A = this chain, B = another copy of it.
Amino acid sequence: MDAITIQPIGEIHSPYKTPGNMPIQGVFGPDVEAWIELKEEYVSGLKGLEGFSHAVILYYFHQSQREDLQAMPFLEQVKHGIFAIRSPHRPNHLGFSIIKINSIVDNKIYFSQVDILDGTPVLDIKPYVKYFDQRDNVKSGWIDKHFKHGKIPHSTIIREKTKDEATKA
């Protein structure tokens, strides 16, 4: 299996310049807006996307400097395999988010449910399709216990480091 070369198709403009205060997943996000700036040459590929409420975007975790095989996710203090968590510090550093499309103007897609850092290179955009992308009888492994009885855990927003912690990091 040979290496594959990927060329970014655009870039994220996000209010989150660092992970502090960013939600761990877009669905937990406050009502802030970001946008994708698509390279001009791809604009005709957006035709029809405006009819979808949500999109899947694939991107590159450009700020990650390492690859872990096991790590502690934000929700708990136990290590899990990297393929059982959503950490950016993973082989190939590929990210996947579901965004809520607000509007599309020329080469810009404005969206909410933002869990992506500013400057992130975008690799693909796909329509989110409820008939394809929702499943029944889903078991969510170690995550289920954190959402028992419909509760949302506190740690769905990444805690901003105190000045003291930031100096040490």
Contacts and interface: CB of A to CB of B under 8 A. Distances in A.
Chain A residues touching B, range: 35 or more
A30 interface: no
Contacts of A49: 81, 83-84, 141
This protein's copies in its complex: 2
B1 A4 contact: no
A6 interface: yes
Nearest to A109: B83
A48 B96 contact: no
A137 to B, nearest CB: 7
Given A83-B127, A127-B140, A6 B133 contact: no
Interface of A: 1-9, 11, 25, 27, 42, 44-56, 58, 60, 69-70, 79-86, 90-92, 94, 96, 98, 100, 121, 123-135, 137-143, 147
